[in-house]
Chain A
Amino acid sequence: MHRPAARALCLGVALALLAAPALARRHDPEKLPEIRIRDLHYGDALFYYYQHDDFEALTRLAAYDHWNRMPHHADDAQLLMGGLYLALGMHNEAGRRFEALLKDPVPSGVRNVAWFYLAQVWYVRGYLDKAAAALARVNGRMSPELESQKELLLGNVLIHQGKFDEAIRLLSTWRGTYNWSAYARFNLGVALARSNRLADADPFLTGVGTMLASTEEQRALKDRANLALGFAYLQANEPAKALPALERVRLNGPYSNRALLGTGWAEASLGDYQGALGPWMELRNRNVLDAAVQESYLAVPYAFGKLNANAQSAEYYESAVESFDAENGRLDAAIARIGQGDMLKRVLTSGHSGTEPYGWFWQLKNLPDAPESRYLYTVLAGNDFQEGLKNYRDLVHMSELLERGGYDMEAFEDMIETRERAYAERLPKVDTLLASGAVAQLQQRNVDLTGRLQTIEARRDLGALGTEAERDQWARIQRLEAALAGAPDTPENADLRQRLALVKGVLYFRLNDAYSARLWEEHRSLKDLKLALHEAQSRWIRVEQARRNVPTNTGEFATRIAALKVRIDALATRLAATEQAQADYLASVAIQELEDQKARLASYQVQARFALGGMYDRAANAGATPAKAPAAEQKGAGEESPAETPAPAAPVPEAPPSEVPPPEAPPPQAAPSEAAPPKSTETPR
Chain B
Amino acid sequence: MSLQRPDGPAARDRRSRVRVFLKCAAVALLGAGTAALAQRGYDLIARAAPDFTLHAAAGGNVRLSEHRGEVVVLSFWSSGCGTCRRQLDALNRSFATYRSAGLAVYGVGLDDVPERALKYARGVPVGFPMLLDPDKAVGRAYRVDNLPMTVLIDRSGTVRNVQRDFSAKSDDLYLQQLRVLLNE
Contact = CB atoms under 8 A, between A and B. Distances in A.
Contacts of A349: 23, 25-26, 29
Given A353-B68, A396-B23, A408 B16 contact: yes
Interface in A410-448: 410-411
B9 A572 contact: no
Interface residues of B, number: 30
B156 interface: yes
Contacts of A402: 20-21
B17 to A, nearest CB: 5
14 contacts: A56-B9, A349-B26, A351-B184, A354-B69, A356-B69, A360-B102, A399-B22, A404-B12, A404-B13, A404-B48, A405-B12, A569-B21, A571-B21, A572-B21
A258 B69 CA distance: 34
A572 B157 CA distance: 21
B133 interface: no
B16 to A, nearest CB: 6
Interface string A564-577: 00001101100110
A399 B29 CA distance: 16
A345 B30 CA distance: 12
Nearest to B32: A346
B68 A411 contact: no
A358 interface: yes
Interface of B: 9, 12-18, 20-26, 29-30, 48, 68-69, 101-102, 154-158, 181, 183-184
A354 B13 CA distance: 14
Nearest to A360: B102
Contacts of A525: none
A406 B23 CA distance: 15
B69 A568 contact: no
Interface of A: 53, 56, 345-346, 348-356, 358, 360, 365-366, 368, 396, 399-400, 402-411, 568-569, 571-572, 575-576, 579
Contacts of B26: 349, 351, 396, 400
B9 A351 contact: no
A409 B20 contact: yes
B12 A406 contact: yes
A53 B69 CA distance: 13
A408 B15 contact: yes
A297 B44 CA distance: 54
Contact of B156 (A360, A400, A568): A400
A349 B155 CA distance: 12
- The DSSP consensus for interface residues of chain B is loop
B49 to A, nearest CB: 11
Which 4 residue pairs spanning A and B have beta carbons closest together? Answer: A354-B68, A572-B21, A354-B69, A406-B12
Contacts of B21: 399, 402-403, 568-569, 571-572, 575
Given A406-B12, A407-B20, A409-B18, A346 B156 contact: no
Interface centre among A365, A396, A405, A406 (most CB of B within 10 A): A406
Contact of A365 (B9, B22, B30, B183): B183
Contacts of A368: 183
Contacts, number: 92
A409 B17 CA distance: 9
A575 B155 CA distance: 22
B9 A411 contact: no
Nearest to A368: B183
A352 B12 CA distance: 20
B16 A411 contact: yes
B32 to A, nearest CB: 8
A55 to B, nearest CB: 9
B156 A352 contact: yes
Contacts of B23: 349, 396, 399-400, 403
Nearest to B67: A354
Contact of B155 (A352, A404, A408, A572): A352
Given A349-B26, A351-B155, A351-B156, A358 B15 contact: no
A406 B18 CA distance: 8
Given A404-B13, A407-B20, A408-B16, A354 B155 contact: yes
A404 B25 contact: no
A352 B154 CA distance: 8
B152 to A, nearest CB: 12
Contacts of A406: 12-15, 17
B156 A405 contact: no
Contacts of A352: 69, 155-156, 184
Contacts of A355: 68-69
Contacts of B14: 406
Contacts of A568: 20-21
A365 B182 CA distance: 10
A403 B102 contact: no
A427 B158 CA distance: 45
A345 B101 CA distance: 23
A679 B147 CA distance: 40
Residue in A53, A56, A353, A569 whose Cβ sees the most chain B Cβ within 10 Å: A353
A350 B154 CA distance: 11
B156 A408 contact: no
Nearest to B26: A349
Given A345-B25, A358-B69, A576-B24, 17 more contacts: A345-B29, A349-B26, A351-B156, A352-B156, A354-B69, A355-B69, A356-B69, A360-B101, A400-B23, A403-B22, A405-B9, A406-B17, A407-B12, A408-B17, A410-B18, A411-B18, A568-B20
Contact of B30 (A351, A366, A396, A410): A351
Nearest to B6: A406
Interface centre among B48, B69, B154, B158 (most CB of A within 10 A): B69
For A353, A368, A404, which residue has the most chain B Cβ atoms within 10 angstroms?
A404
Contact of A403 (B20, B68, B181): B20
A355 B70 CA distance: 11
A365 B68 CA distance: 20
Contacts of B17: 403, 406, 408
A404 B12 CA distance: 8
Contacts of A572: 20-21
Nearest to A573: B21
B95 to A, nearest CB: 18
Given A346-B29, A354-B68, A360-B102, A408 B183 contact: no
A404 B156 CA distance: 10
B20 to A, nearest CB: 5
A391 to B, nearest CB: 15
A194 B30 CA distance: 47
